[in-house]
């Protein structure tokens, strides 16, 4: 089973990717993991990526694509994989299609975690981070009515990227970049949307039910 997971920030992609990949017995492959592995492993691609990252620049598509190609060529990905964070746009989607075609493979499914903007804002803007231990609490889900960490007593604060204005801007950027990708895969008839609201276990169950018809 070869699938791509897409969804806005705050949709729970990281959590669902882990559960879905585990249920399907395939590796979860995220661009973040690939970058970290290459940089920490001191690979040539990792060193190249680090020169951009150290300058605060975006790593060029060709470097990212080369890393993804290497990762998909590893033994554990031969019987399938779940990609999280790649492709991010239509041009990357076309590269992935050509890459798989070269190996005599196709993408089976693109799973979109669907959650409305207000729910994303509710999830992310309600987060508070402990300044001492780094644990994250939620003003609503954890019923945090004070500004102290229950684990260590440290002061809680709201990270800049969790502020409502920033979250809404991230959602706008996501829509601009990813809406064409969603349309692209919908036209290929391999896109399925899953309601990503509610408890984690329920979302995983919905996702697995959506995936089953596409399994060989």
Active site residues: 13, 88, 127, 159, 170
Burial string for 32-50 (b: 16+ CB within 10 Å, else e) reads eebbeebbeeeeebbebbe
Q: In Å, how far are 2, 183, 184 from 190, measured between CA atoms?
A: 11, 11, 10
Sign, CA dihedral 115-85-210-175, equals positive
Whether 69 and 121 have beta carbons less than 8 Å apart is answered as no
Calpha distance 117→112 (Å, rounded): 15
The angle formed by the CA atoms of residues 35, 38 and 40, to the nearest 5 degrees, is: 100
Radius of gyration of the chain (CA): 19
| Cross-strand partners of 137 | 128
Whether 113 and 6 have beta carbons less than 8 Å apart is answered as yes
Q: How far is CA 45 from the centre of its chain?
A: 21
**14: three-class secondary structure by DSSP:** helix
């Amino acid at each position: 089973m070869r699938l791509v997971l897409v969804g806005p920030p705050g949709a729970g992609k990281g959590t669902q990717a882990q559960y879905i990949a585990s249920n399907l017995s395939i590796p979860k492959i995220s661009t973040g993991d690939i970058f970290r592995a290459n940089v920490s492993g001191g690979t040539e691609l990792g060193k190249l990526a680090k020169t951009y990252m150290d300058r605060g620049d975006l790593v060029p598509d060709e470097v990212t694509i080369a890393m993804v190609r290497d990762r998909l060529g590893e033994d554990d990905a031969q019987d399938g994989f779940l990609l999280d964070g790649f492709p991010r746009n239509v041009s990357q989607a076309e590269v992935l299609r050509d890459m798989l075609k070269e190996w005599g493979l196709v993408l089976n499914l693109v799973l979109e975690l669907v959650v409305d903007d207000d729910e994303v804002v509710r999830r992310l803007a309600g987060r508070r981070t402990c300044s001492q231990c780094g644990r994250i609490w939620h003003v609503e889900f954890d019923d945090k009515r004070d500004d102290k960490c229950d684990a260590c007593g440290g002061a809680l604060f709201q990270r800049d990227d969790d502020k409502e204005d920033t979250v809404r801007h991230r959602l706008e950027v996501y829509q601009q970049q990813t809406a064409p990708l969603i349309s692209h895969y919908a036209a290929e008839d391999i896109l399925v949307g899953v309601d990503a609201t509610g408890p984690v276990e329920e979302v995983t169950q919905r996702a697995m039910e959506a995936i089953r018809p596409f399994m060989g």
